[in-house]
Structure formats: C-alpha cells, structure tokens
Structure 1
Amino acid sequence: MNILFLCTGNSCRSVLSEGAFNHLAPAGMRALSAGSHPTGWLHPRAVALLQRKGISTEGYFSKSWDALPVTPDIVVTVCASAAGETCPAYLGPVLRTHWGLDDPSHVAGTDEEIEAAFERTWAIILARIQAFLALPLDELNTDRARLQAELDRIGTLQA
C-alpha cells in the first residue's frame, strides 16, 4: 500500500508526514510526499525535527506529484484549508482524505515558539498515523466506504 501525503509546497508538513509514516509503518506500506507547486527545498526545521526523532531524511527532496515513482492507493492532503490555504486536488482514481494541519513554518515568534509549533504539528501527525496503522486494513480494504469514513475521522484527531 502506498500513501501520498500531499501539500502545495512539499517542504514541511507533507515531508514530516512521510517521515513519520515510513518510520512507523510495517513492511508492505510506504509513504511518499509531493506538492502541486513544490518549493524545491525542504524546510530546515522540518529536516532537523525528523533527525532529532531518529528518522533519516536521506533521499528526501521537495518534488512534484508529477514525479511520483508509483501511483498511490490513498492520497492525504495536509494543508490547512480552514486557514485559507487551497489544497491541491490529486487527479486519479484513488481514495482521498484531508488531514489539515496548520503550517508551522508560517509561525512568527521566538525560536521557542516556532519550535513549539513544529512539535505540535509533529504530535498531531503522529496521532493520526498511529490511528491509521491501528485500523483493521485487511477488513477495510474490502469496504471502501467504511475505509473512507475512517480516514476522514482520523483527519479530525488532535494530539
């Protein structure tokens, strides 16, 4: 199963989600991340956070959804549409869900306040990915409507 975490820039939230998922997921499950308009760089605080958590960022780069090596089974948008960001719509016959996250890279303030925003975002990502991995996927894969409902429910979870 391939999960695509999709954002506009593919520099922060989608990369954090990809790293967390790949760190926690069992064999046979893989996450990718991409953007509809990639920035071309990874946010240094996102890279530093992943490294602090013991997650390798080797091979990670900001990329377009046009450059994916596989077709995803599930696409998770992570932009915060409620905050006025426009989430890209992945065009393809896949399950889609929205797990909106505020962009910690837009937080202004002290280093401590910015780091706290990144840690809050990380905690939400972890809670959602752990909830996803706890789903009875073998059972849900035969009931697309129920899987869609579970994916949408997970998108409302907070840390």
Structure 2
Amino acid sequence: MTQVDVLRHSSKPTVLVLCTGNSCRSQMAEGMLRHLAGDIIEVVSAGSEPAGYVHPLAIRVMGEIGIDISNHRSKHVSEFLGKPIETVISVCGEGEAQCPFFPGTVNRYHWPFNDPAKVEGTEEQKISVFRAVRDEMWRVFQAYAAGRRDQLEWDRKLMGLR
C-alpha cells in the first residue's frame, strides 16, 4: 500500500512536509514526526523537484537517534495533490515559494532550516552539520508534536470524550 493509499483510508489528519529536493530536511522531519506523533497524525513528505534519493547522511544521523528513514523515498508533491492534507510544513525557503495549492482549510507553516547537503568539507564536517540541523529540527518538531497532543486532548475534553 502506498502512502497515497494510506491517506485515503486514514481517519488521522495528514501533515505534508515540503522541501525542494525531498532528500534531507523534509525526510528527516517526516521521520521525526512519525516517531513523535505517528499515532495521532499521518505524516508524508514531498518535494517540488525531488532528488530521487534520500541522502545517506540524513539516513545516518536519523539512525543515530533511533529513527530509521532508510526505506523512505523521494516523492514529488504532485502525488499528494487532491488528497486530504490538513497541514503543510515547508522546511526550506525554496519549498515555500513553490508550495502548490491544496483545496480546503489547510494550515501552513514555514520553518526554514539550513540545507546540510550543500555543505562542503570533510566527511566529519558534513556529518557535523547534518547533526546540527537534525538537532535543531528535533527541537522544533518535538514542540509541534506536543502542541498537537495538547490540542487533541483539549478537543476530546470539549467533546466529552475523555
């Protein structure tokens, strides 16, 4: 079953993480959000110009924190057009400008992070930058996931579903 098929049959709201290449930042964010809040939201990622692969250093630094993104694939945002997307989060400057229209009420957030794939230097310098970006993203998405949980709890209390 593809991610698009999962969206058709899910009762959970869907968050789309958008970036240009869908090889580093959006892939790491997808893995983080699935880890932190996959029980309450569906998480997918895509790019406006997908690279066609997930960056090996992104896979490596996520593995260091116990999140496996090695089975992720680089996807084009068109795969999700017309699907029930609740929230779009862009994680790079280019992605926000090229974010396609999603019909209905869509929450939009733009949280830019430096592109670790653009760093030149030794392998250790590159991995250090990937770790720094991962850690910065972790703080942001951990707070976002906590906020989603708080909102869900509040909604349940208001509806008497406690």
TM superposition score normalised by structure 1: 0.77
Q: Which has the larger radius of gyration?
A: 2
Correspondence for 2:143 among 113, 131, 138:
131
8 A contact 2:116–2:129 mirrored in 1: yes
In structure 1, how many angstroms separate the alpha carbons of the residues matched to 2:95 and 2:35?
28
Distance in 1 of aligned mates of 2:91 and 2:23: 12
Misfit runs of 4+, over 3 Å: none
Q: Does 1:104 align with 2:111?
A: no
Query: How many Å apart are 1:86 and its aligned residue?
Result: 5.6
Structure 2: gaps (5+ residues)? 1-12, 156-162
Q: CA deviation at 1:130?
A: 1.1
Over the residues paired in the alignment, what is the CA RMSD in angstroms?
1.9
Amino acid at match of 1:74: T
Partner deviation per Cα, 1:55-75 (whole Å, 9 max, x = no partner): 222541000111139422110
Q: What CA distance in whole angstroms lies between the structure 2 residues aligned with 1:5 and 1:38? A: 13
Matched residue SS, 2:67? coil
Q: Supply the distance in 2 between the matched residues of 1:86 and 1:33 (Cα, whole angstroms).
A: 12
Consecutive unaligned residues in structure 1, runs of 5 or more? 141-159
Distance in 2, matches of 1:71 and 1:38, equals: 21
CA spacing shift, 1:86–1:3, aligned 2, 3 Å: closer
Query: Aligned to 2:28, what secondary structure does the other structure show?
Result: helix
CA distance in 2 between counterparts of 1:130 and 1:90 reads 26
After superposition, the C-alpha distances for 1:81-128 in whole angstroms (9 at most, x for unaligned) are 2xxx46322311311110000100101112221111111111111101
Q: When the two structures are aligned, how many residues end up with a matched partner?
A: 136
Q: How does 1:58-137 map to 2 (within 5 A)?
A: 59-68=71-80, 70-79=83-92, 81=93, 85=94, 87=96, 88-92=98-102, 93=104, 94-135=106-147, 136-137=150-151
- TM-score if structure 2 supplies the norm length? 0.76
Answer 1 or 2: which has greater helix percent.
Answer: 2
Change in CA separation of 1:24 and 1:86 when aligned onto 2, cut-off 3 Å: closer
